[in-house]
Amino acid sequence: MNALAATNRNFKLASRLLGLDSKLEKSLLIPFREIKVECTIPKDDGTLASFVGFRVQHDNARGPMKGGIRYHPEVDPDEVNALAQLMTWKTAVAKIPYGGAKGGIGCDPSKLSISELERLTRVFTQKIHDLIGIQTDVPAPDMGTGPQTMAWILDEYSKFHGYSPAVVTGKPIDLGGSLGRDAATGRGVMFGTEALLNEHGKTISGQRFVIQGFGNVGSWAAKLISEKGGKIVAVSDITGAIKNKDGIDIPALLKHTKENRGVKGFDGADPIDPNSILVEDCDILVPAALGGVINRENANEIKAKFIIEAANHPTDPDADEILSKKGVVILPDIYANSGGVTVSYFEWVQNIQGFMWEEEKVNNELKTYMTNSFKDLKAMCKTHSCDLRMGAFTLGVNRVAQATVLRGWGA
Summarised one tens digit per residue, pLDDT across range 392-411 is: 999 999 999 999 999 998 75
Instruction: Indicate if 378 belongs to the active site.
Output: no
Task: Check residue 327 and give left, alpha or beta (phi > 0: left; psi -120 to 50: alpha).
Answer: left
Q: Is there a contact between 357 and 179 (Cβ–Cβ < 8 Å)?
A: yes
Which contiguous run of DSSP H or E holds residue 307? strand 306-308
Instruction: State the pLDDT at residue 306.
Output: 97
Determine which one of 23, 102, 305, 375 is catalytic: 102
Distances 231 to 180, 198, 208, 309 between C-alpha atoms, Å: 24, 17, 5, 18
Q: Is 90 annotated as a binding-site member?
A: yes
For residue 326, the tally of other CB atoms under 10 A from its CB is 13
Helix (H) or strand (E) holding 379: helix 359-384
Show the beta-strand stretches assigned E in 58-206.
65-72, 99-106, 137-141
The answer to whether 283 and 304 have CB atoms below 8 angstroms apart is: yes
Q: How many residues does the chain have?
A: 411
Greatest pairwise CA separation for the chain in angstroms: 64
Q: What confidence tens digit (pLDDT) does each residue in 385-396 have?
A: 999 999 999 999
Binding site annotation covers 66?
Answer: yes
pLDDT of residue 255: 95
pLDDT at 285 over 90: yes
Q: What pLDDT, on the 0 to 100 scale, is given for residue 75?
A: 78
Q: Model confidence over 30-74: pLDDT tens digits?
A: 999 999 999 999 999 999 999 999 999 999 999 999 999 999 888
This model's pTM is above 0.85: yes
> Among 368, 369, 345, 71, which residue's Cα sits nearest to residue 181?
345
Q: Is 216 annotated as a binding residue?
A: yes
Mean pLDDT to the nearest integer, 326-344: 95
Element (H, E) at 57: strand 48-57
Q: What is the pLDDT of residue 312?
A: 86
Going by pLDDT thresholds of 50, 70 and 90, the confidence category of residue 1 is low
